[in-house]
């Protein structure tokens, strides 16, 4: 989750689309407006909104710019463009987001999965060896199901339990499991991390809330104003959830089992300190695509 200076989006009174009702014109207008608003990825956002809202492919966008678009579709594009200008992410506007190989539903009750969280999936998969071994996995703070469902999609003999304190997030996770035919190998439980789980797991994964309470105000508006606070707030030092999860390891992770957690790169040493003082051994620290330490793999001792 990137911090940035706060920059309010311009409040537009006039319509965005005033020229010819043609595909190419709508797209170019939106790119220009998003650039003027200093949206970080204006061309990509414009393309996604135009193709998804007008139900055209990127190839059509390039090959058929004179295609006439009807007024209802332009009105819907205008509505969505204004949502983007107000700070909502493209994923939230469209209600879905790509993660790993899955297309996931997102809602106002779920964190929008981030590409860097795929580092947790990669590290978790290396712990599941041999790949065909039956494995029981828990995802603490499952949100949309991004981590758990990605792992289940790669490990066909694995079964997963997704836990969240948010009932509404669990509804989305369950829908995502059904959407990807993974509901037969997953179940979802409302609980305070692992506190209510009676089983012992081979692998536990978690991307817990880890932003310090004070830093929440400095997050970019797309995150600060739209991701649920429950998914962000890690307490005064950002480590509350790690302490809770690490304390639960003896009752929920089998001896020799693996726990993979996502971290804020700046909190790397602090998270490792909290883990080691509870007897967990650091197996690996993995970088995300930006080269920042993003996931830590920990092992419970055999005794």
Ligand X SMILES: C[S@@+](CC[C@H](N)C(=O)[O-])C[C@H]1O[C@@H](n2cnc3c(N)ncnc32)[C@H](O)[C@@H]1O
Report how far residue 233's alpha carbon sits from residue 241's, in angstroms, rounded to the nearest whole number: 9
Among 23, 49, 111, 261, interactor with ligand X by CB under 6 A: 111
From the CB of 243, what's the least distance to ligand X, in Å? 11
CA distances 40 to 30, 35, 210, 225, Å, are 14, 8, 24, 17
Report how far residue 303's alpha carbon sits from residue 288's, in angstroms, rounded to the nearest whole number: 32
Residue 271 touches ligand X, criterion: CB under 6 A: no
From the CB of 300, what's the least distance to ligand X, in Å? 20
According to CB under 6 A, which residues from 210 to 249 bind ligand X?
A: 230-231
From the CB of 177, what's the least distance to ligand X, in Å? 13
Would you say 145 is a known binding-site residue? yes
Among 29, 89, 117, 186, interactor with ligand X by CB under 6 A: 117
What is the per-residue binding string for ligand X in 129-148, x denoting contact by CB under 6 A? -----------xxxxx-xx-
Among 27, 193, 201, 242, interactor with ligand X by CB under 6 A: 193
Of 39-47, 159-167, 177-185, 293-301, the segment contacting ligand X by CB under 6 A is 159-167
In the complex with ligand X, the residue whose CB is nearer, 91 or 208, is 208
CA distances 272 to 205, 249, 268, 299, Å, are 15, 15, 6, 12
DSSP code string of 55-118: T--HHHHHH-TT-B--HHHHHHHHHHHHHHHTT--HHHHHTEEEETTEEEE--TTSPPP-GGGH
In the complex with ligand X, the residue whose CB is nearer, 31 or 92, is 92
Would you say 141 is a known binding-site residue? yes
Would you say 144 is a known binding-site residue? yes
In the complex with ligand X, the residue whose CB is nearer, 30 or 111, is 111
From the CB of 33, what's the least distance to ligand X, in Å? 30
Residue 188 touches ligand X, criterion: CB under 6 A: no
CA 69 to chain centroid: 33
Token pair recorded at residue 14? 């006039």
Angle, vertex CA 247, rays to CA 265 and CA 249, nearest 5: 90
Peptide bond into 187 cis (omega under 30): no
Token pair recorded at residue 116? 């860097």
From the CB of 141, what's the least distance to ligand X, in Å? 3
In the complex with ligand X, the residue whose CB is nearer, 42 or 113, is 113
Bridge partners (DSSP) listed for residue 219? 3
CA distances 81 to 85, 227, 286, Å, are 6, 19, 37
From the CB of 166, what's the least distance to ligand X, in Å? 4
- The annotated binding site for S-adenosyl-L-methionine is made up of 141-145, 164, 193, 207
- Rule CB under 6 A: which residues touch ligand X? 111, 113, 117, 140-144, 146-147, 163-166, 169, 192-193, 207-209, 230-231
- The annotated binding site is made up of 141-145, 164, 193, 207-210
């Amino acid at each position: 989750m990137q911090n940035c200076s706060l920059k309010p989006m311009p409040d537009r009174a006039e319509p965005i689309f005033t020229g010819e009702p043609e595909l190419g014109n709508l797209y170019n207008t939106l790119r220009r407006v998003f650039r003027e608003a200093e949206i970080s990825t204006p061309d990509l956002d414009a393309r996604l909104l135009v193709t998804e809202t007008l139900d055209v492919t990127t190839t059509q966008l390039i090959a058929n710019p004179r295609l006439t678009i009807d007024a209802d579709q332009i009105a819907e594009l205008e509505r969505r463009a204004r949502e983007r200008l107000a700070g909502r992410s493209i994923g939230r506007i469209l209600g879905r987001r790509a993660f790993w190989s899955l297309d996931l539903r997102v809602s106002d009750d779920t964190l929008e999965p981030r590409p860097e969280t795929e580092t947790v999936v990669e590290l978790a998969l290396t712990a599941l060896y041999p790949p065909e071994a039956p494995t029981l996995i828990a995802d603490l703070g499952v949100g949309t199901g991004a981590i758990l469902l990605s792992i289940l999609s790669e490990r066909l003999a694995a079964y997963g339990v997704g836990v969240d304190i948010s009932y509404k997030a669990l509804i989305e996770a369950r829908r995502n499991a059904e959407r990807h035919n993974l509901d037969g190998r997953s179940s979802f439980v409302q609980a305070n991390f692992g506190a209510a789980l009676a089983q012992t797991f081979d692998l536990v994964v978690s991307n817990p809330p880890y932003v310090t309470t004070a830093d929440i105000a400095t997050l970019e508006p797309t995150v600060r104003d739209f991701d649920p606070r429950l998914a962000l707030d890690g307490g005064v030092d950002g480590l509350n959830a790690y302490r809770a999860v690490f304390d639960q390891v003896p009752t929920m992770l089998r001896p020799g089992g693996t726990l993979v957690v996502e971290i804020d790169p700046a909190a790397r040493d602090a998270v490792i300190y909290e883990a080691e003082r509870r007897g967990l051994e650091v197996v690996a620290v993995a970088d995300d695509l930006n080269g920042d330490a993003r996931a830590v793999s920990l092992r419970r001792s055999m005794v």
